[in-house]
């Protein structure tokens, strides 16, 4: 029987190479609650090439690791981009002892496959010993957002409590959908899927993050997350209950700017419609037709926002419950709930304004 994992709450500054190796064994531990190789293989076969790139030349997998160095934690953030299956596995082999790991893949457009081959993804999940339910989130990516709203905010949470000879394990996986500004200056709805493993009584955090588009803001989020994680590792006494979340404020905050821009569009349309009321139907027929088409387009853009925000609200509530043991984090997630509820109210207000525009006499 394996020895119990070290309890860092009693000696927060004592970390030996043996401790780190022991943590890594537990962090990668094959727990039957989470891992079922047959189910993983079956789901991988079902997803097929709909989700993953078919050529190795298109592969791009990014690693952001906060490394542990004996008794000194979080002093080095390592970044690496691998472009083939072999180099990815070699990097994992050479960098096996880490404190926090984020793995990112992307798609160049919402309809494009993620930048990893099916073979490499299968090897990665096998190496990480990630359970098949994470692939259920990948199905949402394969559907490009069409099935993201299913379930309680698209979040799965499981835990095994601490025992005399086993470290407690928390696994959480979820999807956040948010607006992002594309390079051409237009808003698109993007999504992020996160797999996160936290081993209690150790500094073990293992997030696996997928992005549907590669934008500079995503890289900035990763750098912010890695920097924050490095600072958090200096406070080992609280790591027994700490759950590191990859900077949700940067995703949720984007909704405000997206809705403000949408409001400006509606205000401009409102002003144009009022101007046309003083003209005859024949004089302004092209402009009236344009306004009517724009109203229909706004209805289509507004329609999915409420279910997306409701799903996000449920996700944030559940994350708040999971992180609730830490008062500071609990307060943070309650603030996110208030933000999202405000966005829901704003969407309803914009929808009503567009409704009134559509019913305006003379248009």
Regarding pTM above 0.85, the answer is no
Q: Is the pLDDT of residue 229 over 70?
A: no
In what order do the strands lie in the sheet containing 72-82?
A: 72-82, 61-69, 98-104, 204-211, 187-199, 169-181, 155-160
Tell me the DSSP string of 199-261: ETTTTEEEEEEEESS--HHHHHHHHHHHHHHHHHTT-GGGTTT------HHHHHTHHHHHHHH
Q: Residue 127 burial by CB count (10 A; 0-12/13-18/19+): exposed, middle or buried? A: middle
Instruction: Compute the mean pLDDT over every residue in the chain, rounded to the nearest whole number.
Output: 68
Mean pLDDT of 215-227: 47
Mean pLDDT of 245-253: 69
pLDDT tens-place string over residues 265-302: 999 999 888 888 777 666 678 888 888 899 999 999 99
Q: 236 or 42, which is more confident?
A: 42
| Band (20; pLDDT cuts 50, 70, 90) | very low
pLDDT confidence of residue 267: 93
| Band (113; pLDDT cuts 50, 70, 90) | confident
Q: Is the pLDDT of residue 241 over 70?
A: no
Token code pair at residue 64: 């952001």
Q: Is the pLDDT of residue 10 over 90?
A: no
pLDDT confidence of residue 99: 59
Mean pLDDT of 46-74: 67
pLDDT confidence of residue 65: 74
- CB-CB neighbours of 42 under 10 Å: 12
Q: 95 or 46, which is more confident?
A: 95
Q: Is the pLDDT of residue 28 over 80?
A: no
pLDDT confidence of residue 345: 92
| Band (310; pLDDT cuts 50, 70, 90) | confident
């Amino acid at each position: 029987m394996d020895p119990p994992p070290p309890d860092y709450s009693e000696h927060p500054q004592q970390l030996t190479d043996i401790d780190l190796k022991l943590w890594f064994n537990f962090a990668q531990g094959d727990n039957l609650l989470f891992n079922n190789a047959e189910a993983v293989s079956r789901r991988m076969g079902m997803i097929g090439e709909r989700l993953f790139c078919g050529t190795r030349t298109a592969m791009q997998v990014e690693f952001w690791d906060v490394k542990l160095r004996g008794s000194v934690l979080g002093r080095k953030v390592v970044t690496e981009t691998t472009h083939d299956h072999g180099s990815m596995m070699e990097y994992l082999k050479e960098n096996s002892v880490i404190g926090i790991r984020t793995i990112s893949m992307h798609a160049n457009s919402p309809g494009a496959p993620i930048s990893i081959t099916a073979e490499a993804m299968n090897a990665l999940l096998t190496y990480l010993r990630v359970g098949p339910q994470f692939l259920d989130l990948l199905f949402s990516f394969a559907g490009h957002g069409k099935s993201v709203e299913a379930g309680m905010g698209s979040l799965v949470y499981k835990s095994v409590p601490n025992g005399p000879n086993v470290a407690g394990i928390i696994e959480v996986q979820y999807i956040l959908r948010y607006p992002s500004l594309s390079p051409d200056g237009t808003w698109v709805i993007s999504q992020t899927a996160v797999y996160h493993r936290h081993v209690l009584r150790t500094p073990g955090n293992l997030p696996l993050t997928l992005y549907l588009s590669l934008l500079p803001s995503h890289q900035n989020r990763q750098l912010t997350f890695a920097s924050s994680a490095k600072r958090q590792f200096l406070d080992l006494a609280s790591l027994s209950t700490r759950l590191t979340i990859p900077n949700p404020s940067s995703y949720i905050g984007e909704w405000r700017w997206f809705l403000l821009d949408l409001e400006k569009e509606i205000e401009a349309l409102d002003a144009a419609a009022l101007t046309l009321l003083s003209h005859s139907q024949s004089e302004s027929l092209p402009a009236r037709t344009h306004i009517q088409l724009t109203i229909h387009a706004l209805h289509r853009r507004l329609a999915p926002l409420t279910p997306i925000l409701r799903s996000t609200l449920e996700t944030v509530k559940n994350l708040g419950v999971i992180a609730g043991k830490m008062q500071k984090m609990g307060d943070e997630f309650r603030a996110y709930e208030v933000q999202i509820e405000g966005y829901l109210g704003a969407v309803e207000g914009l929808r009503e304004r567009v409704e009134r525009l559509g019913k305006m006499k003379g248009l």
